Amino acid sequence: MEDILPLQLNGQDLDRPIIISGPCSAETEEQVLTTAHELSQNGIKIFRAGIWKPRTKPGGFEGVGVPGLEWLKKVKEETGMATSTEVATRAHVEAALAAGVDLLWIGARTSANPFAMQEIADALADAKADVPVLVKNPVNPDLELWIGALQRIYNAGIRRLGAIHRGFSAYGKHLYRNLPQWHIPIELRRRMPNLPIICDPSHIGGKRELVAPLSQQAMDMGFDGLIIESHCEPDSAWSDKSQQVTPDVLNYILNTLVLRSESQSTENLTLLRQQIDTIDNELLETLNKRMRVSREIGQYKKEHRMPVLQAARYDDIMQTRVKLAEEMGMSAEFMRTVLAAIHEESVRQQINVLNQR
Q: Cα–Cα distance between 164 and 108 in angstroms, integer?
A: 9
CB of residue 335 vs ligand PEP: minimum separation in angstroms? 33
β-pairing verdict for 225-229 and 103-106: unpaired
Given the complex with ligand PEP, which of 166 and 231 has the nearer CB atom? 166
CB of residue 280 vs ligand PEP: minimum separation in angstroms? 36
First and final C-alpha spacing in the chain: 53
In one-letter notation, the amino acid at residue 41 is Q
Would you count residue 298 as binding ligand PEP (CB under 6 A)?
no
| Inter-CA distances, 125 with 98, 100, 122, 272, Å | 14, 16, 5, 49
CB of residue 132 vs ligand PEP: minimum separation in angstroms? 16
| Inter-CA distances, 242 with 106, 149, 186, 202, 282, Å | 22, 29, 28, 9, 47
Beta-bridge partner residues of 21: 47, 228
Would you count residue 245 as binding Mn ion (CB under 5 A)?
no
98: CB partners within 8 A, 6+ apart: none
| Inter-CA distances, 230 with 192, 245, 282, Å | 30, 5, 48
Would you count residue 64 as binding ligand PEP (CB under 6 A)?
no
In the chain, count of helices (H) and strands (E)? 13, 10
Looking at residues 69 to 88 of the shown chain, list those that interact with ligand PEP (rule: CB under 6 A). Answer: 86
Would you count residue 240 as binding Mn ion (CB under 5 A)?
yes
Looking at residues 237 to 296 of the shown chain, list those that interact with ligand PEP (rule: CB under 6 A). Answer: none
Would you count residue 201 as binding ligand PEP (CB under 6 A)?
no
Would you count residue 50 as binding ligand PEP (CB under 6 A)?
yes
Given the complex with Mn ion, which of 25 and 294 has the nearer CB atom? 25
Q: Which residue is nearest to ligand PEP (CB)?
A: 107
For 53, the enclosing helix (H) or strand (E) is none
- Contact with ligand PEP (CB under 6 A): which of 9, 26, 97, 108? 108
Would you count residue 19 as binding ligand PEP (CB under 6 A)?
no
Residue 6 contact, options ligand PEP, Mn ion, none, Cβ 5-8 Å cut-off depending on partner type: none
Given the complex with Mn ion, which of 44 and 164 has the nearer CB atom? 164
In one-letter notation, the amino acid at residue 325 is A
Residue 46 dihedral angles phi and psi, to the nearest 5°: -125, 125
317: CB partners within 8 A, 6+ apart: 339, 343
- Contact with Mn ion (CB under 5 A): which of 7, 19, 24, 237? 24
Tell which residue, 7, 204, 218, 231, has the closest CA to residue 103: 7
- For ligand PEP (CB under 6 A), the number of binding residues is 9
CB of residue 50 vs Mn ion: minimum separation in angstroms? 6
Would you count residue 136 as binding ligand PEP (CB under 6 A)?
yes
CB of residue 110 vs ligand PEP: minimum separation in angstroms? 7
Residue 166 contact, options Mn ion, ligand PEP, none, Cβ 5-8 Å cut-off depending on partner type: ligand PEP
Q: What angle do CA 291, 293, 299 make, to 5 degrees?
A: 105
CB of residue 20 vs ligand PEP: minimum separation in angstroms? 10
Residue 31 gets which letter from DSSP?
Answer: H
Would you count residue 92 as binding ligand PEP (CB under 6 A)?
no
Q: Are 250 and 230 in contact (CB under 8 A)?
A: yes
- Contact with ligand PEP (CB under 6 A): which of 45, 152, 165, 166? 166
Residues forming contacts to Mn ion in the complex (CB under 5 A) are 24, 240
Residues forming contacts to ligand PEP in the complex (CB under 6 A) are 24, 50, 54, 86, 107-108, 136, 166, 203
